[in-house]
Amino acid sequence: MNELIKAIEKLKQEKNAVILAHYYTEGEIQNIADFVGDSLALAQWANKTDADVIVMCGVHFMGETTKIICPDKKVLVPDMNAGCSLADSCPAEKFSEFVSLHPDHTVISYVNTTAAVKAVTDVVVTSTNARQIVESFPADEKIIFGPDRNLGNYINSITGRKMLLWDGACHVHEKFSVEKIIELKQSHPDALVLAHPECKSTILALADVVGSTAALLKAAIQSDRKEFIVATESGILHEMQKQCPEKTFIPAPPNDSTCACNECSYMRLNTLEKLYNCLKDESPEIIVDQETADKAIKSIKRMLEISEQLGL
């Protein structure tokens, strides 16, 4: 293993490459990354790096977003099959039809979408900035929000907006079990429940803190509680445990106890070996067609600009 890590470090130096990783990847990937973050932080980091090569250890839409932000850099992903069930729940053609049926609506899309969906979007959001970006529009602005119905419902509930929602969801966040979290709360009465807004409203109703992966991490660090029940992809526990070695983090169980459904099977396709191979071969490389990229960059840049203005 050490040899593989040394070989990756050497290739990184030779190629002036950086490795970015999402909090949901395996701990060994997070450990070797130059930067680990949530979706917003990864996009912000890509926007300012001067590396020639960026390896995005995450999922395909993160690679696409990086390539659109950094068209002159080579953007690699360890496994081209690392997709996203939420992005898949919003095919671009169908979403475009939906948008064209509501021409007077502003289109706000979650970053978990393909470049083609971003191309018909006015402003992209992540779970870190969705509330603030929605609230940056006048209260009577007509808004389409896609593709995550749970995040959309949550934002509607905390802002009082009535955004039209696309009916998409993430297979990991949909599967947390209300009953099992209630049981865990009973057996760990002092535990703080942390939940990602991609979870269903029945799960969010049990949560003490609702937020993006970065927000949940911050809450875990700042809280004086000793135990936490974590309702999001379990990869985040790696950084939580690293930052707070004295605290206990309990992954919220899915309703199907026969599978590790609180792990994103796509994120877990990133392995050290594939990371080494993709740096060595400079493949698989993310390519976004120019016309789509030219349209999508506007909605991504708008998100980055608003986030900067808001100090996010």
Applying CB under 6 A, the residues found at the interface with ligand SF4 are 24, 59, 84-86, 112, 170-172, 233, 264, 266-267
- Binding partner of residue 114 among ligand SF4, ligand 13P, none, CB cut-off 5 to 8 Å per kind: none
Identify whether the C-beta of residue 231 lies closer than 8 Å to the C-beta of residue 202.
Answer: no
Report whether the peptide linkage leading into residue 147 is cis, meaning its omega lies within 30 degrees of zero: yes
Instruction: Rule CB under 6 A: say whether 113 interacts with ligand 13P.
Output: no
- Binding partner of residue 66 among ligand 13P, ligand SF4, none, CB cut-off 5 to 8 Å per kind: none
Binding mask 184-203 for ligand 13P (x = CB under 6 A): --------------x-----
- Binding partner of residue 268 among ligand 13P, ligand SF4, none, CB cut-off 5 to 8 Å per kind: none
Instruction: Give the CA-trace dihedral at 137, 149, 293, 128, to 10 degrees.
Output: 60
Q: How far is the CB of 174 from ligand SF4 (least distance, A)?
A: 9
Find all residues with CB under 8 Å of 294, minimum gap 6, and list them: none
| Partner residues linked to 248 by β-bridges | 227
Q: Of the candidates 127, 177, 292, 307, which one interacts with ligand 13P according to CB under 6 A?
A: 127
> Closer to ligand 13P at the Cβ: 144 or 217?
217
> Closer to ligand 13P at the Cβ: 70 or 215?
215
The 8-class DSSP code of residue 90 comes to S
3-state secondary structure of 14: helix
- Binding partner of residue 113 among ligand 13P, ligand SF4, none, CB cut-off 5 to 8 Å per kind: none
Helix H or strand E segment including 262:
none
In order of 59, 149, 178, 183, 187, the CA distances from 201 in angstroms are 25, 10, 10, 18, 22
Q: Of the candidates 30, 65, 85, 112, which one interacts with ligand 13P according to CB under 6 A?
A: 112
Nearest to 192 by CA among 158, 163, 216, 159: 216
Instruction: Rule CB under 6 A: say whether 121 interacts with ligand 13P.
Output: no
Q: How far is the CB of 182 from ligand 13P (least distance, A)?
A: 24
Instruction: Rule CB under 6 A: say whether 126 interacts with ligand 13P.
Output: yes
Q: Six-digit token pair at 19?
A: 């490795």
Q: Six-digit token pair at 85?
A: 């069930």
Residues contributing to the site for ligand 13P (CB under 6 A): 38-39, 112, 126-128, 170, 198, 212-213
